[in-house]
Amino acid sequence: MESSRAARRRARRVPRRSLTYTALACVAVVGATAGGTVYVKAQAHTGSGAVSSAATPSVSPSTATTTQEAAVAESVVDLDEKLADAMTSVRVTGAQKVSAAVLDLESGDSAVHGDGAFDTASIVKVDILAALLLRHQEAGTRLSAREKAYATTMIENSDNASASALWDTIGKAAGLDAANRTFGLTGTAGGDGALWGLTRTTASDQLTLLQQVFGDDSKLSEASRSYLQDLMGQIEADQRWGVSAAADGSGWALKNGWLPRSTTGLWDVNSIGRVSVAGHGYLVAVLSNGNSTQAQGISLVESAAKAAVSVFTGEDASASASASATSAAAR
């Protein structure tokens, strides 16, 4: 895990979902057709300071402004649409549903696919610990030795008894919801009573939570963020699946969740975390339900994670999806 690099990079609190190539199209050349119709053509900056252009007739400032704005608008890439396109390579069958979100830690640009709410299962354990750390910050206190022991087994081993103990400590759903209002989550609601695993959330909200853990613009202190990051970077070996499939091996930190629903016999399978590709950091959240088996859900989540990161890396999402399916079949 690259917590030191994450601390140096700034993730914006409100992610931008469009990427504008104004740096590459920073000069507009105004021209006219033979019939007098004004047009604007974006020119790529060569770095020499010179831009080639044909002789241009004079036009009114208002016309030039309008046409230049049109050219800039045409150069905007809708990242949500790019993610939607990438997700077409992800195989979804039967009752399966999936939602994904990704954020580039350096640029702050993000993309989200799907806005439905899903059961958190064990990914809520990150939220529980974040809420506990926030409570201690506000009170000017530190985690007790017992709380640290619970936190370690809850995150690294996904221990449910530890999660239940800390769920009670933060005040169950009411405490989680209060912390999430501070963190800026708007589509997450804590589970009833002791049912923390049935907390409902969205991929977009999980991206906001990840920014609280890995971004500088956070309600959590640097010490709290580093503590959570370290635990998420030491997940036990048999749980190192999910969004880590999108990493290139140079670094990841994650938390997974999986839950067979007694009412349907189908599985909720989720994964959230930070991955590194060629030294570049991304926050990724993938939520799914309706999976016939846990292995099927893992395959879906890993394919979706790779598709999400491909929006920024340009990797072939179709090939990544095929590789995830093969890997899951081998489990």
Alpha carbon distance 319, 245 (integer Å): 13
Alpha carbon distance 175, 128 (integer Å): 9
Strand partners, 76: 20
Which carries the bigger pLDDT value, residue 49 or residue 98? 98
Residue 38 has pLDDT above 70, yes or no: no
Q: Within 13 Å of residue 86, how many CA atoms lie on the same side as its CB? A: 32
Q: Within 13 Å of residue 54, how many CA atoms lie on the same side as its CB? A: 10
pLDDT band at 211 (very low <50, low <70, confident <90, very high): very high
Residue 174 has pLDDT above 90, yes or no: yes
Task: Name residues whose C-beta falls within 8 Å of residue 25's C-beta, 6 or more positions apart in sequence.
Answer: 42, 43, 44, 71, 72, 75
- The per-residue pLDDT for 62 is 55
Query: Which pTM does this prediction carry?
Result: 0.76
DSSP 224-257: HHHHHHHHHT---GGG--SGGGGS-SS-EEEEEE
Average pLDDT, the chain: 82
Q: Which domains does the chain have, with CATH numbers?
A: 22-74 (no CATH), 79-329 (3.40.710.10)
Of residues 241, 243, 238, the one with CA closest to residue 207: 243
Question: pLDDT tens across 222-247, in order?
Answer: 999 999 999 999 999 999 999 999 99
Residue 3 has pLDDT above 60, yes or no: no
- The per-residue pLDDT for 44 is 35
- The per-residue pLDDT for 61 is 53
- The per-residue pLDDT for 66 is 57
- The per-residue pLDDT for 311 is 96
